[in-house]
Amino acid sequence: MNWSSVASTIPVLTTANTSRGLTEAGTGVPFVACELLYETYQSAWRYATHVSHTPRPIRVLLSRAMAARAVSTPIGTLGLVATGDGLSGVRWSANGLRDEASPILDEAVAQLEAYFAGALIDFDLPLDLAGTEFQRSCWLALATIPYGQTASYGEQARRLGLGPDSARAVGAANGQNPLPIVLPCHRVIGADGSLTGFGGGLHIKRFLLEHEGALLPLG
């Protein structure tokens, strides 16, 4: 199988302005999985040969270098990861990450700091998302939920043109969101108004919603 011909059909996701929604622009070799380069070479080899049955994707995959950065925020130190194409990960911990130079990460840090200072409500960053088509559509739909507002999983499904029985699948996709805060899965709540699950913990979800004015502070 020719990897170049396969890669040319997979979109690289970018954004001009999240307040207008995220759009696809151009194509290229996808960053298949952020975590892959942190795993052993053997694991990467197994993945690539499973995908294409040739060793070529390994060389392509390893050539797409990642940069990482730790950023201190009111909710703790976050770990940011980026490829040359865009921001690919926001982690709840920076453990194991080594700060590296990247203009994308420079801008991501600046925008996160502005967000927590109350000076920014819409992120404007290039994104490099690794996921299924359905996952990416769910993640991008998160950016259409306005700052200071919330939506239920059913409402998010409707934004995607799906029926109410898709709410559970949408919730599962949100749970795999690689860019929390930037793609604001914290703004999705239960139909009864409950906060429901969140990768960073419900206390952080509440903090973010209170910070945006979507919830009144407790006590």
125-140 confidence digits (pLDDT tens): 999 999 999 999 999 9
Helix pair angle (167-174, 133-142), 10° resolution: 80
Residue 186 sits at the vertex; the CA angle it makes with 38 and 152, to the nearest 5 degrees, is 130
- pLDDT confidence of residue 41: 36
Do 187 and 93 share a structural domain?
no
The answer to whether residue 124 is domain-embedded is: no
Kindly state the average pLDDT of the residues 199-205.
94
Boundary-marking domain end, from 87, 116, 145: 116
- pLDDT confidence of residue 197: 85
Question: What's the predicted TM-score (pTM) here?
Answer: 0.71
Do 154 and 80 share a structural domain?
no
CATH of the domain at 178: 1.10.10.10
Q: DSSP labels for 112-165? A: HHHHHTTS-SS----B---S-HHHHHHHHHHTTS-TT--EEHHHHHHHTT--GG
Q: Which pLDDT band holds residue 178 (cuts at 50, 70, 90)?
A: very high
- pLDDT confidence of residue 74: 96
The predicted-structure confidence for 25-80, as pLDDT tens digits, reads as follows 333 333 333 333 333 333 333 444 444 444 333 333 333 568 999 999 999 999 99
**Radius of gyration in angstroms for the set of CA atoms belonging to the chain, rounded to a whole number:** 18
Do 85 and 23 share a structural domain?
yes
Residue ranges making up the domain that contains 193:
133-212
Dihedral angle, C-alpha 155, 156, 161, 165, nearest 10 °? -70
Do 105 and 156 share a structural domain?
no
Do 108 and 7 share a structural domain?
yes
Of the residues 44, 185, 214, 215, which is catalytic? 185
Do 146 and 55 share a structural domain?
no
- 34 catalytically annotated: no
Kindly state the average pLDDT of the residues 80-90.
96
Determine contact, residues 142/187, Cβ cutoff 8 Å: yes
- pLDDT confidence of residue 64: 53
